[in-house]
Amino acid sequence: MRRISHILLFCFCLLSCKERNSQASTSQAIPKSASKTSVVVGAARIDQYLPLVAGKRVALLTNQTGRVGNRSTAAYLKSKGVNVTLILTPEHGLSGKAAPGASVGNSVDAETGIPVYSLYKGSFTAPGDKEMNRFDVLLSDMQDVGVRFYTYYISMVRMMDVCADYHKKMIVLDRPNPNGHYVDGPVLDMKYKSEVGWLPIPVVYGMTMGELALMVNGEHWLTDGRDCELRVVTCLHYTHRTLYILPVSPSPNLPNMRSVYLYPSLCLFEGTQVSVGRGTPTPFQSYGVKAQNYWTDLSKLTDKEAKETGFSLNYLVEAYHKLHQGDKFFTPFFEKLIGVGYVRKMVMDGKTADQIQQKWEPDVERFKKLRKEYLLYKE
């Protein structure tokens, strides 16, 4: 079947020059790619939120992914006369280059001279009175990848909580979700809540940051069920089926779209003895244990194939049986990633990926119904 699919794909590419060019470009590093659509991100729609921040002190939750054209969102806002008094940054820092989990200190943005407060000093570190008293409104502009254990959404949600506590308004400048076309994976059992899983949502939740923020408010998921005063500036010309190629790498180990599409599945190996290619040219596109002469390279997959694969336990199940490590295969971190207690046991009991998926499907269907109430874009 795999051979047939390759032949069909080759024929299709011959028939469509445009599609062939798309496949070639998306296999390059993300910064060399461009969206295949005319999507306008929320940050670029200045007319929609400038009246809301005029005359106010503004903080900006952002990183290297917050851009309007060839300028950072901070520089763009400054050029429009917005009084940005503070920049807040998530994991990986303002540049997006800090290592996963690394503590990032406070600094000053060299481009704009605006003070930078790091929310990630080994773990989330909320701003205190000093920082919160420096602004009236918080703008949030970060590129998420739509996966529960990717921490940018957690920083946004936790800042919603802080803003609610301090009675500050948050405006989410929305961006497309590159994995927003589907929903899959176990819904987080909140007893496994952690820095890599903050909400009762599936591994792949199919929502933009703006939609998710609305759900957090609507479902009263903030501390003590309180609400954050919230506004979402939507994208133009975007649906959940839109092919959106990220213009900037979102974090150090997601260098291209193939890694973004494979990330939901391969990141589960972070809770095992298996490497996911960090430090190699193909992070989250290869995995294995070199000491056992076991290595699988997925970097030759086309982006189209990687996207269509979606969230899959096949890689994990196969590796477990081939490595013969027994209960040493998994680490305690695995449950924080997968979000439930039953997957480890089912893998060790010899269940297939399909059999395990059937276990979480009812929860996913319930979440999909809930999700529809908060969608801002067509499916």
Please answer whether residues 116 and 131 qualify as being in contact, where contact means their C-beta atoms are separated by less than 8 angstroms: no
For 299-350, give the secondary structure using H, E and C: CCCCHHHHHHHCCCCHHHHHHHHHHCCHHHCECCHHHHHHCCCHHHHHHHCC
Residue 57: predicted pLDDT: 98
Residue 339: predicted pLDDT: 98
Q: Is the pLDDT of residue 23 over 50?
A: no
From residue 116, give the alpha-carbon distance in Å to each of 98, 142, 153, 176, 303: 15, 15, 19, 25, 35
Model confidence pLDDT, tens digit, residues 326-364: 999 999 999 999 999 999 999 999 999 999 999 999 999
Cα–Cα dist 375/163, whole Å = 23
Question: What secondary structure letter does DSSP report for 167?
Answer: T
Residue 13: predicted pLDDT: 40
Q: Is the pLDDT of residue 9 over 50?
A: no
Structure tokens at 40: 């306008």
Share of the chain above pLDDT 90, in %: 90
Please answer whether residues 286 and 296 qualify as being in contact, where contact means their C-beta atoms are separated by less than 8 angstroms: yes
pTM (predicted TM-score): 0.90
Give strand pairing partners of 68. 71
Residue 187: predicted pLDDT: 98
Average pLDDT of the residues in 212-224: 98
H/E element holding 14? helix 2-15
**Mean pLDDT, all residues of the chain:** 92
Residue 26: predicted pLDDT: 38
Q: Is the pLDDT of residue 35 over 70?
A: no
Nearest to 84 by CA among 76, 92, 95: 76
Model confidence pLDDT, tens digit, residues 191-216: 999 999 999 999 999 999 999 999 99
Of how many residues is the chain composed? 379
Model confidence pLDDT, tens digit, residues 102-160: 999 999 999 999 999 999 998 999 999 999 999 999 999 999 999 999 999 999 999 99
Average pLDDT of the residues in 229-254: 97
Among 6-15, 78-87, 343-352, the range scoring the smallest mean pLDDT is: 6-15
Residue type present at position 27? S
Cα–Cα dist 20/59, whole Å = 42
* Total Cβ atoms within 10 A of residue 67: 22
Cα–Cα dist 53/31, whole Å = 30
Domain ranges of the chain: 42-233, 257-372
Model confidence pLDDT, tens digit, residues 162-183: 999 999 999 999 999 999 999 9
* Total Cβ atoms within 10 A of residue 297: 13
Residue 122's SS3 state is coil
Which ranges of 32-189 would DSSP assign to H, the alpha helix? 46-53, 73-79, 129-132, 152-166
Banded model confidence at residue 36, pLDDT cuts 50, 70, 90? low
* Total Cβ atoms within 10 A of residue 105: 10
Residue 30: predicted pLDDT: 64
Distance of CA 185 to the CA centre of its chain: 15
Residue 40: predicted pLDDT: 98
Q: Is the pLDDT of residue 43 over 70?
A: yes
Q: Is the pLDDT of residue 37 over 70?
A: no
CATH of span 42-233: 3.40.50.12170
Distance of CA 16 to the CA centre of its chain: 31
Please answer whether residues 269 and 287 qualify as being in contact, where contact means their C-beta atoms are separated by less than 8 angstroms: yes
Structure tokens at 125: 């570190």
Residue 24: predicted pLDDT: 35
Residue type present at position 77? L
Structure tokens at 71: 């300028």
Nearest to 83 by CA among 130, 135, 156: 135
Q: Is the pLDDT of residue 3 over 90?
A: no
